[in-house]
Amino acid sequence: MPAPSTSFPAWLTQWLHVQNIVHWGAADLRGFSTPRDAAGREFPGAISWVVPVNPRVMAQVQHGPTQAYAAEYDRVNLQINELAERLAAVLRDRGFQAQPLAASVRSDPVNIRGDFPHKTAATRAGLGWIGRHCQLVTFKWGSWVRLGTVFTDLDLPTGRPVQRSFCGRCRRCVEACPAGALTGARWSPDLPRENILDVRACDHWKKENYRQYHEGHVCGICSAVCPFGLKLLKKSAGTGG
């Protein structure tokens, strides 16, 4: 068995740099149920990255979604999907198996899930932790990000999986959720989603109150009130941005 890789290929880091992807990593997904490659084998890993959302748009969502937020949601998801398709093509051209994971596609409407959680790949890649609002939180941008994932069999040095929450005693997202869908539980990797989020209560509230925004599939309040995100506005004000 070959020794695991200890450095990223220069062509990969250069490609990601050109795309202005600055916060990314590789996730070891062995032991997880992942999509299968052309040979029917589950992908052993993935490349995960974040795309920051416009902080001024996010700050306006603290009391409910806006048309600007819906447009930003579309813009960033389109950017992620385009990047994922192109990265997968680059990997295949070099002889590796690769499959992009679409942004924000609910492939299982009964259980309100996608094909695989982007958040799992991101935490396994060491990019952040899951907040009390059941979303990825990064130190630099808080949860004011969207996530991209490409499964691959390319051998890469994987990040150190994040094993704990850094939210401390903060409960702003829990208190702000208009659906009362957040339990307030502190995340750990083995904690089921249901212990953090009542996904049906969340989904019902959005469809009842925000149907004008993507037919009730977006809200954003819990992310908008996150202090790790709000600090971006303070930094921007401090630099005159």
Residue 230 is predicted with a pLDDT of 94
Burial 72-99 (b: 16+ CB within 10 A, else e): bbeebbeebbebbeebbeebeeeeebbb
DSSP bridge pairs for 148: 49
Residues 6+ apart with CB under 8 A from 128: 50, 122, 136, 137, 138, 139, 162
How crowded is residue 105: how many other Cβ atoms within 10 Å of its Cβ?
11
* Parent domain of 62: 10-238
How crowded is residue 113: how many other Cβ atoms within 10 Å of its Cβ?
13
Strand pairing class (24-28; 136-137): unpaired
Residue 3 is predicted with a pLDDT of 46
Residue 174 is predicted with a pLDDT of 98
Residue 4 is predicted with a pLDDT of 52
Residue 1 is predicted with a pLDDT of 33
Strand pairing class (45-52; 98-101): unpaired
The verdict on residue 214 lying in a domain is: yes
Nearest CA to 58 out of 172, 141, 149 is that of 141
Residue 234 is predicted with a pLDDT of 74
How crowded is residue 68: how many other Cβ atoms within 10 Å of its Cβ?
14
Q: Record the pTM.
A: 0.92
The verdict on residue 108 lying in a domain is: yes
Task: Name residue, tokens 């212990």.
Answer: 195
Spatial distance between the Cα atoms of 223 and 230, rounded to a whole number of angstroms: 10
The verdict on residue 4 lying in a domain is: no
The verdict on residue 1 lying in a domain is: no
The verdict on residue 17 lying in a domain is: yes
Spatial distance between the Cα atoms of 56 and 230, rounded to a whole number of angstroms: 9
Name the domain count of the chain: 1
Residue 118 is predicted with a pLDDT of 97
pLDDT digits (tens, 9 = 90+) for 84-138: 999 999 999 999 999 999 997 776 776 777 889 999 999 999 999 999 999 999 9
Residue 2 is predicted with a pLDDT of 42
Spatial distance between the Cα atoms of 60 and 114, rounded to a whole number of angstroms: 27
Which stretches of the chain score pLDDT less than 50? 1-3
Q: Would you state the structure tokens that stand for residue 52, as one six-digit string? A: 């920051």
How crowded is residue 238: how many other Cβ atoms within 10 Å of its Cβ?
8
Spatial distance between the Cα atoms of 109 and 119, rounded to a whole number of angstroms: 18
